[in-house]
């Protein structure tokens, strides 16, 4: 079905830059970049998929069934996203909040051209119908200077810009966290992830440039540039949602955040405090329990285990507590079923999950859409890898609407003002590249 050719690259870093710029000509682009971050269970340094041969685009109604049929029919590489609102397909829930972006609930495509990078090694996987373009494309990519970045910056600065606004005022946010704490005191939930949207209307951006600026600030292991027609995701996500390799499943939820310091002694102290902070650890442990519970529904008996609990990982802007949970998938369970059973991810919902999602819908001011959903890919043999869409900018070029959301886990120990400060810390990089 695909022709495969292998090449050795003299300068992989330079090639990556050129490859992303070369992809600008396509309507469908999925660029996944690990930024050379040393991450357990990493597979590729980067992947680029371009040009849809086939695609599936749907709302949440029977979305997972449709995705399963598409994945089993194509038996090929497919790339795309699951929006948070697929919760309405999994449970009897609804999404009625304001939606300025208008993204489909689910969108996947089968690329005509695929590039896999690992170290100096490049593999090109082209559908047979376009495999005669392989050599020419490679020459074109190597010759294309990352289109003058200065020129792009000029175009960007002369484009439409408008102020970033908060959908929820600070006062309103504090009141809503107070309401969430009442739900916790009543025993409706133990924890919930509460988010707020920042947005800009009548705004034109250069998506590739904004993505590169955002990625340079954060350098995370699950960075993604996604273009599906007028819908763009520019993501600096540090979090893996779920990965399947053979029968092994891996989930790596993040809960617990602390700032970095330029002073190395202070920075080490901040990381150590995060590691031992009872509130941050309890947030993480609650989500680990939820993930274990989700995975146990599709795992071989006794195979669910916690490989790492509350380990501190260091990113350019923040320290994070990350846990790693693994399981063996029960035989005869389709790959898409593993996603359906665990979606949406516990780190972006709360515990108990359904109650948390109902309260989130009631208190948040904007529809989450792709934010806190997942982006990733399936391989021809049904393996997959998906990130969690956080630290991300969403853009509808037709509506000229730019949006990013941030949130945090609310538990019984939460102090509303501190939660608001954490939101602003998480929003810093997105705000910086948009201003």
Positions marked catalytic: 239, 255
CA distance 341 to 297: 8
Strands (E), 138-207: 165-166, 191-200
Q: Identify the three-state secondary structure at position 38.
A: coil
**Bridge partner residues of 50 (DSSP):** 29, 113
Instruction: Determine the length of the chain.
Output: 435
**Bridge partner residues of 46 (DSSP):** 33, 117
Q: Going by C-beta distance under 8 Å and a sequence separation of 6 or more, which residues neighbour residue 431? A: 164, 198
CA distance 350 to 362: 14
Burial tier of 196 (Cβ tally within 10 Å: 0-12, 13-18, 19+): buried
Instruction: Give the number of other Cβ atoms within 10 Å of residue 287's Cβ.
Output: 27
CA distance 313 to 319: 6
Contact 157, 206 (CB under 8 A): no
Strands (E), 186-230: 191-200, 222-228
CA distance 170 to 424: 11
Q: Identify the three-state secondary structure at position 288.
A: helix
Largest Cα–Cα separation, the chain: 65
Q: Which of 386, 312, 354 is nearest to 192 (CA)?
A: 354
CA distance 389 to 231: 14
Contact 48, 23 (CB under 8 A): yes
CA distance 273 to 204: 41
Q: Which of 258, 171, 241, 288 is nearest to 389 (CA)?
A: 241
């Amino acid at each position: 079905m695909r022709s495969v050719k292998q090449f050795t690259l003299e300068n992989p870093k330079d090639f990556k830059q050129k490859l992303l710029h070369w992809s600008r000509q396509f309507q469908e682009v999925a660029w996944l970049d690990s930024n050379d971050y040393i991450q357990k269970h990493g597979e590729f340094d980067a992947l680029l998929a371009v040009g849809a041969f086939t695609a599936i685009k749907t709302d949440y109604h029977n979305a997972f069934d449709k995705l399963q049929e598409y994945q089993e029919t194509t038996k090929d590489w497919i790339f795309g996203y699951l929006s948070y609102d697929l919760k309405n397909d999994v449970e009897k829930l609804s999404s009625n909040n304001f939606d300025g972006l208008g993204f489909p609930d689910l969108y996947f495509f089968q690329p005509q051209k695929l590039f896999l990078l690992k170290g100096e090694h490049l593999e090109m996987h082209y559908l047979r119908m376009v495999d005669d373009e392989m050599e020419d494309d490679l020459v074109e990519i190597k010759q294309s200077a990352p289109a003058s970045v200065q020129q792009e910056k000029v175009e960007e600065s002369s484009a439409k810009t408008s102020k970033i606004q908060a959908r929820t005022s600070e006062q309103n946010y504090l009141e809503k966290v107070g309401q969430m704490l009442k739900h916790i005191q009543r025993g409706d939930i133990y924890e919930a992830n509460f988010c707020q949207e920042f947005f800009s209307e009548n705004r034109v951006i250069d998506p590739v440039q904004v993505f590169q600026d955002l990625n340079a600030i954060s350098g995370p292991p699950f960075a993604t540039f996604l273009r599906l027609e007028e819908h763009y995701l520019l993501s600096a996500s540090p979090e893996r949602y779920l990965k399947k390799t053979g029968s092994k499943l891996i989930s790596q939820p993040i809960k617990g955040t602390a700032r970095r310091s330029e002073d190395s002694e202070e920075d080490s102290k901040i990381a150590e405090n995060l590691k031992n902070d009872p509130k941050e650890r309890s947030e993480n442990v609650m989500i680990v329990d939820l993930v274990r519970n989700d995975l146990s529904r599709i795992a071989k008996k006794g195979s669910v285990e916690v490989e790492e609990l509350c380990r501190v990982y260091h990113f350019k802007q923040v320290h994070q507590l990350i846990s790693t949970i693994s399981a063996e998938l029960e035989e005869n369970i389709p790959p898409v079923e593993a996603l359906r059973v665990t979606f949406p991810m516990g780190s972006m919902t709360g515990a108990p999950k359904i109650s948390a999602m109902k309260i989130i819908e009631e208190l948040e001011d904007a529809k989450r859409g792709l934010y806190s959903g997942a982006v990733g890919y399936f391989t021809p043999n049904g393996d997959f890898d998906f990130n969690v869409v956080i630290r991300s900018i969403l853009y509808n070029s037709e509506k000229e609407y730019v949006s990013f959301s941030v949130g945090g886990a609310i538990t019984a120990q939460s102090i509303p003002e501190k939660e608001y400060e954490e939101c602003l810390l998480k929003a810093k990089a997105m705000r910086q590249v948009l201003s």
